[in-house]
A = this chain, B = another copy of it.
Amino acid sequence: MTGLSFRLIADDRAARCGEIMTPHGPVATPAFMPVGTQATVKALAPGTVRATGADIVLGNTYHLMLRPGAERVAMLGGLHVFMSWPHAILTDSGGFQVMSLSELRKIDEKGVTFRSHLDGATVELSPERAVEIQALLGSDIAMQLDECVKLPASRADIERAMRLSLRWAERSKRAFAGKGGLFGIVQGGDDMALRHESLRALVDIGFHGYAIGGLAVGESQDVTNRVVGEVAPALPANAPRYLMGVGTPENLLDAVIRGVDMFDCVLPTRNGRHGVAFTRRGPVSLKNARHAEDPRPLDEGSSCPAARTYSRAYLHHLVKANEILGAMLLSEINVAYYQELMAGMRIAIAERRLADFEAEAKAAWAQGDLPPR
Contacts and interface: CB of A to CB of B under 8 A. Distances in A.
A40 interface: yes
A313 B76 contact: yes
A295 B77 contact: yes
A66 to B, nearest CB: 10
A169 B122 CA distance: 66
Interface string A306-340: 00011101100110110111011100000000000
A43 B328 contact: yes
Contacts of A38: 317-318, 321, 323
B311 A82 contact: yes
A75 interface: yes
Interface string A7-51: 000000000000000000000000000000011101111000000
A44 B292 CA distance: 22
A155 interface: no
How many copies are assembled? Answer: 2
Most chain B CB within 10 A, of A83, A295, A310, A325, is at A325
A51 to B, nearest CB: 12
Interface string A121-160: 0000000000000000000000000000000000000000
Interface residues of A, number: 35
B320 A328 contact: no
Interface string A81-96: 1111000000000000
A174 interface: no
B67 A320 contact: yes
B317 A328 contact: no
A72 interface: yes
A19 to B, nearest CB: 29
Contact of A40 (B83, B311, B323): B323
A325 B40 contact: yes
Contacts of A67: 317, 320-321
Given A76-B295, A76-B313, 10 more contacts: A39-B321, A42-B323, A43-B328, A45-B329, A68-B320, A76-B311, A76-B314, A82-B311, A82-B313, A82-B314
26 contacts: A38-B317, A38-B321, A39-B317, A39-B318, A39-B321, A40-B318, A40-B323, A42-B323, A42-B324, A43-B328, A44-B325, A45-B325, A45-B328, A45-B329, A67-B320, A67-B321, A68-B313, A72-B292, A75-B293, A76-B293, A76-B313, A81-B311, A84-B310, A84-B314, A324-B324, A324-B328
